[in-house]
Amino acid sequence: MPQQFILIINAGSSSLKFKLFSTELREIAEGIVEKIGLDGSFLNYGFSKKGQRIEVKVKDHHQAMEAVVDSLRPSTRSARSGQAHSTMLSVDFKSIVKVGHRVVHGAEKFIRPTLLTARTIKQLEKFNKLAPLHNPNNIAGIKACRALLPAAEQWAVFDTAFHSTIPDYAYLYPIPFKIYQERGVRRYGFHGISHQYVSGEASRLLKKKFPNLITCHLGSGCSITAIKAGKSVDTSMGFTPLEGLMMSTRSGDIDPAIIFYLTREGMTITEIDKLLNSESGLVGVAGLKDMRDIMVASGYKISNYRSPLKFSKQQKYLASLALNMFVYRVRKYIGAYATVLGRIDAIVFTAGIGERNADIRSLIVKGLPIKTKILVIPTNEELMIAKLISNT
């Protein structure tokens, strides 16, 4: 019987990431199409540990998926790599039996892996207004895959699903209850696939089936989740991914009356939306998005990284201020969730900053009154999706 595969797709606004797994969940290939719909679009992919980069003209997600499927064809790969066709694993349309899609928002309706049909896609589109920067792109990737791989089962796995176990007293906001009933305004939480993956890995490492954990996903977007007996019971992101921690360009928690004040001062809602989502956080305080640059400007040395920037005295002060604000807010959430959980088996760090920046981790945990294990676990959302849909 020919080998069968599971393809995992994570479609963003101008990028499409993919990983290919065997049905035994062995990773076969991975890659990303970047600059979809823009000049200079390209595909980076690796197959059997060998990387390739090719220029591809892609105007939309359908063409991006065509480039992905094309990169998996033996004849295409051998032509580009110079390897003989016979040495390459055969991957064709029929050998991909399942496709898993990361979908950011499933609201309260979609709380488990869902087989995608024309009907469920139509239902999903109703939630585009809850995640306008994410869900439409996720759905574009779904539609492209359905067209190109019609024989494969298409499954959606939702970032919000892992947080469906949060109790009502934690997910509701103290606003009129009818706003929740009529408009669905509540805490949904995000990064759920990542939090679920690292919590499973922590359970394995701790040799404990249902541990109490505080999982810290610290990257460009940041969130912290309190996990009690293996289930999410609270998380820092809320109705949207704007709430919670200070992030690369997002403000995180602020006094909501600031928005009313700024409107009275002449700013439009669109301008405030852009301010809080794209011009705040690290870049708003320090003028720098990259935590590595902020660390260098604050006097730290980053292994294998040399900042191309020169920093003035004022920039150094603002970088140090941004770093202190970031660390302080992470520590506050850890302290709050320690109270929620009572007993903690481990604090887990993951994502770009959490995994790679030992100085940040040290600053966060230094002096914490909580004495517990500190785990660093690289996240693998694609493998988590593959695991979830392989069991369906």
Q: Please enumerate, as own/partner, the contacts of 51-60 that have beta carbons within 8 Å and a separation of 24 or more.
A: 52/77, 52/80, 52/81, 54/80, 58/33, 60/36, 60/140, 60/144
| DSSP line for 285-305 | HHS---HHHHHHHTT---TT-
Tokens, residue 231: 């289930």
Catalytic site residues?
A: 159
CA dist., res. 261 & res. 381, Å (int): 39
* Cβ-contact 34, 15 below 8 angstroms: yes
Bridge partners, 158 (sequence order)? 103
CA dist., res. 357 & res. 378, Å (int): 12
* Cβ-contact 155, 98 below 8 angstroms: yes
Q: Is 183 helix (H, G, I), strand (E, B) or coil?
A: helix
Residue bearing tokens 């990303």: 32
* Angle in degrees, CA 370, 373, 377, rounded to 5: 125
Q: Are strands 5-11 and 96-103 parallel, antiparallel or unpaired?
A: parallel
Can you give 356-370 as a three-state secondary structure string? HCHHHHHHHHCCCCC
* Angle in degrees, CA 211, 215, 219, rounded to 5: 160
Q: Which amino acid is at 73?
A: R
Q: Are strands 346-350 and 373-376 parallel, antiparallel or unpaired?
A: parallel
Neighbours of 229 (CB within 10 A): 13
Sheet of 373-376, strand order: 231-235, 222-228, 213-218, 346-350, 373-376
Question: Which is nearest to 380 in space by CA: 15, 145, 51, 30?
Answer: 30
In degrees and rounded to multiples of 5, residue 31 shows phi and psi of 180, 180
